[in-house]
Amino acid sequence: AATWTPLRTKRHEREKETTMAQLNEQKAAQRLIRSRERVADHGEVFTPAWMVEAMLDLVKDESERIDSRFLEPACGSGNFLVHVLQRKLAAVEIKFGKSDFEKRHYALLGLMCIYGIELLADNMIECRANLIEIFADYLKLNPSDNLYRAALVVLSVNLVQGDALTMKTHDGEPISFAEWGYLGKGKFQRRDFRLGVLPGSSAFSAEGSLFAHLGKHEIFKPIRTYPTMTVNTLAAAYENVPEEAK
């Protein structure tokens, strides 16, 4: 015999489904903000994961290149940078997954090419924690490993608490960033540049520019160049990392 469902029951189920969908939307919206006060004071609204992925797909080749550099000028807790790092580590696994030595060093290079500026201290702490967790999980590191400590040193340099509009840190100093490079055989190089000069780099070298014939090295000079370093060299600098960045 056929089973009949009263219309009232069907209507009740639809209303229940609608209510649940609305609650889920409200919860999702709440995850995108910490408080109404922070939205009002700082314009703080976090980007949902699906939107981050869609935006990164617009520059898919760059987002999946290990040594491409990404700067998030309002990085929050790392919504964009987390996904960029995950894509870079996926590329490392494909290219160097069979060599533990190369995998570890190119994974660190991928981390070195991620930069962020954030106005609020609690967001910056969370961003560092999110990135080091992903990095450590991928390589199965623990906090006592030199590579783990080297990664924390890199993040303490690449993630800056400050204002991207004024290009100054939270204590009023000009923001500078390290340009990292991997030389092979476990050796890295570092040169520091002021953030204020970097946006002009592409304009100076653009075709038709008055300065197009000049090399970038003739215009954009680092404020500091470091000796070649290794993972162990970087790890040794861990003791100088501010407590909030550990």
**Residue 11 pLDDT:** 56
- For the chain, list the strands marked E by DSSP: 70-72, 114-118, 159-163, 168-169, 176-184, 187-194, 224-225
**Residue 103 pLDDT:** 98
**Residue 219 pLDDT:** 52
State both tokens at 16: 């229940």
Please list the rounded mean pLDDT of every run of 10 residues in the chain (246 residues). 53 56 45 51 63 93 95 92 97 97 98 96 94 98 97 97 94 94 97 80 50 50 94 93 75
| Helix-helix angle 100-112:146-158, to 10 degrees | 20
| 123 dihedral zone (left: phi>0; alpha: psi -120 to 50; beta) | alpha
The sheet with strand 187-194 has its strands ordered as 176-184, 187-194, 224-225
Do residues 92 and 110 lie in contact, with contact meaning Cβ atoms separated by under 8 Å?
yes
**Residue 19 pLDDT:** 52
**Residue 246 pLDDT:** 72
**Residue 243 pLDDT:** 77
pLDDT in tens, 115-174: 999 999 999 999 999 999 999 999 999 999 999 999 999 999 999 999 999 999 999 999
Q: How far is CA 41 from the centre of its chain?
A: 24
**Residue 50 pLDDT:** 87
Do residues 104 and 146 lie in contact, with contact meaning Cβ atoms separated by under 8 Å?
no
Give the HSE-up count for residue 61: Cα atoms under 13 Å, Cβ half-sphere: 0
